[in-house]
Structure 1
């Protein structure tokens, strides 16, 4: 199945490694990871500047999404009929 990340971007759910809140960029380890990923060309900005809400790490790329991580979780769960507590 696919998960819509915003704009015209969809990814295979099986390729998703993690969905992080954009506020995690403040952590030193996350900031370093994102800087290295940017230098290597893995970052895909799919949201307008200032509207970033989540970071979606896949096996191929890292997406900066305008959709919150809780909404992405609900979308992923509703597609297979599973909704667990947030």
Structure 2
């Protein structure tokens, strides 16, 4: 199944590793993790509200982390 992350981003639910609230970016550990990543895909149209880590990339999504969580639960039947 696939999940729409906002803007023009769609990823497979099987590739999602984690979904974080964008406010956690202020954490030193998350900040260090993000600075070492090469495949960051930024949301260009809206202010990011969540960070979606997939197997291949990291997306800054304009949708709230709670909304994305609900979408993954509906898609996977949990």
> TM-score, with normalisation over the residues of structure 1?
0.83
Q: SS at 1:14's partner residue?
A: helix
For the 8 Å contact 1:53–1:67, the answer to whether it is kept is: yes
1:1-86 map, 5 Å = 1-37=1-37, 40=38, 42-48=39-45, 51-82=47-78
How many angstroms apart in 2 are the aligned matches of 1:12 and 1:58? Answer: 9
Q: Return 5+ residue gaps in structure 1 as ranges.
A: none
RMSD (CA atoms): 1.3
How many angstroms apart in 1 are the aligned matches of 2:24 and 2:8? Answer: 25
Q: CA deviation at 1:47?
A: 4.2
Q: Return 5+ residue gaps in structure 2 as ranges.
A: none
The size of the alignment, in residue pairs, is: 78
Q: Which has the higher contact order (CA 8 A, sep 6+)?
A: 2
> TM-score, with normalisation over the residues of structure 2?
0.91
Larger radius of gyration: 1
